[in-house]
Chain A
Amino acid sequence: MNAMLTIEDLRVAVEDKPILKGIDLTINAGEVHAIMGPNGSGKSTFAQVLAGRDQYAVTHGRIDYDGQDLLALPPEERARAGIFLAFQYPVEIPGVSNVYLLKTAVNALRKHRGEPELDAMDFLTLVQQRMALVQIDEDLLYRSVNAGFSGGEKKRNEILQMLMLEPRLAILDETDSGLDIDALQIVASGVNSLRNKDRAFLVVTHYQRLLNYIKPDYVHVLAGGRLVKSGGPELAQELEQRGYGWLQEQAGAAP
């Protein structure tokens, strides 16, 4: 079976300052990978680089997605190829309603896949089903994207988008930060509802808590710009108890 995502020796810098110092990772369809790490380790950078944010300079390395060179694709093409990033800080776009952005994105994707676009009725039906899953009120749909949303509402809105766009590789960038336990469970159930053998998830998180609800297949620790340790779900428990210190020392020791 060919891997969905293969990352080789990825190095990334921001304004000449190296952030990621050589990441190697393989993700197969059907798997859930968690990336944990202390603040400043480069977790968010990693997530954003995968989605195509160009303010980060990739100085070295290769990323293969379904046999394609991912680094050669602009963000919208990565999205159309099935990559979705749930933002850590979802952006506000006043004047553009949520429902409008969703419909445009869904239809852009369908068009790319050669499927017929959804008309207003069908789209609304679909949205209403998905909204129920993330417990978002219908009136939020007609408000401007993320405008005046609470932190929790913004994150749930990201999950709604994910449910509507049905990506093949979903990257969650600290989706759990700032959420209370109820919101956390909603986010988790949204994610879990999409889990299947054709889909992969990359869950970036600082806290182990989310992983109680979204059980990962693999856990990796990113520290000092490198993946310093990988393991199964029990690694998350160990980090919860011991913190990151013991791993950071290891990272510090490496050149």
Chain B
Amino acid sequence: MTSPNSQIDNLLNREYPAGFVTDIDADSVPPGLSEDVIRLISARKQEPQFMLDWRLSAYRHWQTMPVPQWSSVHYPPIDYDAISYYSSPKSRKPGPSSLDEVDPKLLETYAKLGIPLAEQEMLSGVAVDAVFDSVSVATTFRDKLAEYGIIFCSFSEAVRDHPDLVRQYLGSVVPPGDNFYASLNSAVFSDGSFVFVPKGVRCPMELSTYFRINAANTGQFERTLIIADAGSYVSYLEGCTAPMRDENQLHAAVVELVALEDAQIKYSTVQNWYPGDEEGRGGIYNFVTKRGACRGVNARISWTQVETGSAITWKYPSVILEGDGSVGEFYSVALTNNLQQADTGTKMIHIGKNTRSTIISKGISARRGQNAYRGLVKVLKGAEGARNYTQCDSLLIGDRCGAHTFPYIEVKNPTARVEHEASTSRIGEDQLFYCRSRGLSAEDAVTMIVNGFCKQVLNELPMEFAVEAQKLLGINLEGAVG
């Protein structure tokens, strides 16, 4: 994979649109946000005019919006003027020159997860030229997909190479004014993924961010757009199990999924946010707006996520069930340990007739972790025959953790059937002793019980992801008991 640095260099060596000249080699744009910064970003990316206009419009809207407050997640306020929205490569802090300079705890985790050395270097930001022949790997992959007519590239490339598609669908699921962080993202998004699957095509392999050029360091303001045309199928994997350590505190991403008639999009995320230290310091704020629209009849969108650690997450993958017979699914495991907090949930909006949604949310809280589920099931007036089934289960390990569920159920159609169930269970002394008296060690017992608890969700993940997810849960539960 080409290092990000050389890509940027290529870009910077091109000519700039007339009227806007800037000193390329200077340090990054000073922190803070203004229309000039946005113009700079757009120019650096060589975006067509429509994109710049779109960004500016979003920015102007953002300026009018109040910062959101949430009672259950506590975070100190973010100073938006202190963030640098674009950093030139020269201003990036030099990475470690070898693995010896990398935090040994991080390396230990990589080893446990079975990540090969070369990847470890890449993940830790070690500046190595041509660690492996990543350009050719990625290129071969793309060529194969192109045979099917499938477009899979970075968002920036899509803006340049497929502007019509982008223009048609960008902001159609998450409009720039939708919420505070979506607005900010719409103004300053850096990069992300773009996928288009043509009519009737079943994408032959799982698309992973790993294979996208410029996967590393796309940083804080990711923008992803996935379009599945009628009758198509695509499974997209995001994230990786290696702990994501980042200088950037604030992540405000936007992911839009559009599924047309009879199309299906499966979006899986396995994320292990580096939790900072045991006191929870140094964590990351992860504000993501993820939304899918089932536009056509019988369209189907599933969100599956396994998240551990971190920071303060605020994400509500949602599905808008417009097409008759469309289906929305949400499967989630959230694990918090130490002082981590997670506030997750989903929104299922039933609009068309005979739509269905399934929500399975499993929260595991250990030691002093706090897990909150906040979901919305909304059945609008015309949603004849809507069906929802929600199951929220909490597993508590230790007596200082917390599990909270705050579902919202709003039903305006009498033919709907909405069912919500929630339950709590624990791994306590009794269960552990029972398993140990049958010959299992305490760690094995915990792993067994946790896996049993999460089974329903793990079964929805593509296989390799599922294996990684299990490993991830195991590592993050270490020391949770005893």
Contact = CB atoms under 8 A, between A and B. Distances in A.
Contacts of B433: 51-53, 75, 91
B441 A76 contact: yes
A74 interface: yes
A96 B449 contact: yes
B418 to A, nearest CB: 24
A75 B437 CA distance: 5
Nearest to A85: B437
A97 B455 CA distance: 11
A76 B452 contact: no
Nearest to B432: A75
Interface stretch (A1-9, A104-112, A177-185, A223-231): A104-112
B434 A93 contact: yes
A76 B434 contact: no
Given A95-B449, A97-B452, A104-B448, A165 B438 contact: yes
A90 B434 CA distance: 8
B434 A91 contact: yes
B431 A95 contact: no
Given A96-B452, A100-B448, A104-B448, A91 B431 contact: yes
Contacts, number: 72
A137 B407 CA distance: 38
A108 B439 contact: yes
Interface in A148-176: 161, 165
Given A55-B429, A75-B433, A95 B452 contact: yes
A242 B192 CA distance: 83
Interface string B404-443: 0000000000000000000001000111011111111110
B169 interface: no
Contact of A101 (B438, B441, B442): B438
Given A55-B429, A76-B441, A93 B436 contact: no
A95 B434 contact: no
Contact of B438 (A97, A105, A112): A105
Interface string A71-100: 000111011100011010011011111001
Given A53-B433, A55-B429, A90-B434, A95 B455 contact: yes
Contacts of A90: 434
B29 to A, nearest CB: 51
Given A53-B433, A75-B433, A109 B452 contact: no
Nearest to A105: B438
Contact of A94 (B425, B434, B438, B439): B425
Nearest to B395: A95
A93 B432 CA distance: 10
Nearest to B423: A94
A84 to B, nearest CB: 8
A79 B436 CA distance: 7
Contacts of B180: none
Interface string B114-141: 0000000000000000000000000000
B223 to A, nearest CB: 38
Nearest to A95: B452
Contacts of A80: 439
B211 interface: no
Contacts of B434: 87, 90-91, 93
A87 B435 CA distance: 12
Contacts of A144: 452
Given A55-B429, A87-B434, A93-B434, A76 B439 contact: yes
Closest 8 A/B residue pairs (Cβ) = A95-B452, A75-B436, A96-B452, A105-B438, A79-B439, A108-B439, A95-B453, A76-B436
Given A55-B429, A75-B437, A91-B430, 11 more contacts: A51-B433, A76-B436, A79-B436, A93-B431, A93-B435, A93-B452, A94-B452, A95-B425, A100-B452, A101-B435, A101-B438
16 contacts: A53-B433, A76-B438, A85-B437, A87-B434, A94-B452, A95-B425, A96-B449, A97-B452, A100-B452, A101-B448, A104-B440, A104-B444, A105-B438, A105-B440, A108-B438, A108-B439
